[in-house]
Amino acid sequence: MAKTALITGATGLLGRQVVKAFERQDWAVVGTGFARANPPATRKLDLGSEADITKTFEEVQPQVVVHCAANRFPDKCDRDPEGTRALNVAASASLAKICAAKSIFLIYISTDYVFPGTEGDAPYEATSTPKPPNLYGQTKYEGEKAVLAEYEKAGKPGWGVVLRVPVLYGEAENPSESAVNVLMDAVWKAQEKDAAIKMDHWAIRYPTNTEDVGRVCHDVAAKYLETEDKSTLPKILQFSSEDKYTKYEMCQLFAEIMGLPLDGMIANTEGNDPNASVQRPYDCHLSTKALKDLGINVATMDFTGWWRRQMRAYRK
């Protein structure tokens, strides 16, 4: 029987690559979306409706669900806390409850922002204690707990897992889909007269390619499906590149590849204001030990090499 995977958020930056990763391994794949859904390529699914989720699952009959759909931009989360909680927490809980009842394996995509990123703390293990620094991280952490709790309640521990990932980059429909890709726009703006664009040169990021995350999602699903007693496997996993950059250093790299000067950009080395209500993470580096212990390949694309290939298209 053909294996079927259902991917939520399949119209997004990560979801598109997760769909491709399962298709490469000869799975039947159904991608769902909401605002950007374009049937029949991607199916419209209202994650706020348990009836819609149930109906979709009855028709698709997936063995695996990868839950990529989320409100994932911290500034947008702060502007719409109610909508963010509805998608990141409540909808994730509903999805997990229905998956658990039907013995469907679920991967809930989470974030390195469940950790505070305090200087000297990293790397964080999957077992480290979360302490989210902002509303986005808080709602993703609450989503993690809700998903795992639904599987515990159903007596199916190990059928639902959390996969935390850092800032992502990859093939984008427009640069604003990724906090990394969008830096290319800043490099172009820095070419304007008297630009003086301030760019963060304090917080450390570990940009990770969406294609690699897609591969790991498939490999995790395959590993857990073949394991009879899933309760013996870890419920929280983490994946990250080891490539290490500040946003300013990424801009320097982009400018070098494009042969552009960066005189119009100023490196901002100011850290957190200790009196600020929201403290930005300095370093949320995720340890991939739990994945390695499962024998899952954690290799990633070389950041510089990927962008050198990608930017051929940008050259004028």
> Is residue 166 classed as helix, strand or coil in its secondary structure?
coil
Task: Determine phi and psi for 152, rounding to 5 degrees.
Answer: -65, -45
Span 176-203+243-284+299-314: which CATH code?
3.90.25
Residue 41 has pLDDT above 80, yes or no: no
- Report pLDDT for 186: 96
136: pLDDT strictly greater than 70: yes
Per DSSP, helices labelled H in the chain are 13-24, 50-60, 74-79, 81-85, 92-101, 135-153, 183-189, 210-226, 247-258, 289-293, 303-310
**CA–CA separation, 291 and 9 (whole Å):** 23
pLDDT at 37: 64
Alpha carbon separation from 13 to 171, 219, 287 (Å, rounded): 7, 19, 23
- Rounded to the nearest integer, the mean pLDDT of the chain is 92
The model's pLDDT over 292-307, given as tens digits with 9 standing for 90+, comes to: 999 999 999 999 999 9
Domain boundaries, the chain: 4-169+207-241, 176-203+243-284+299-314
Question: 265: Cβ–Cβ under 8 A, 6 or more apart, which residues?
Answer: 186, 187, 190, 195, 197, 198, 199, 248, 251
Compute the radius of gyration of the chain from its Cα atoms.
Answer: 20
Instruction: Determine contact, residues 206/285, Cβ cutoff 8 Å.
Output: yes
The residue with greater pLDDT, 70 or 302, is 302
The dihedral sign for the CA sequence 49, 54, 60, 62: positive
pTM of the prediction?
A: 0.95
Query: Tell me: the pLDDT tens digits for 237-289?
Result: 999 999 999 999 999 999 999 999 999 999 999 988 777 666 679 999 999 99
Residue 25: pLDDT above 60? yes
User: 141 with 132: CB under 8 angstroms?
Assistant: yes
Residue 99's pLDDT band (cuts 50, 70, 90): very high
| CATH homologous superfamily, domain 4-169+207-241 | NAD(P)-binding Rossmann-like Domain (3.40.50.720)
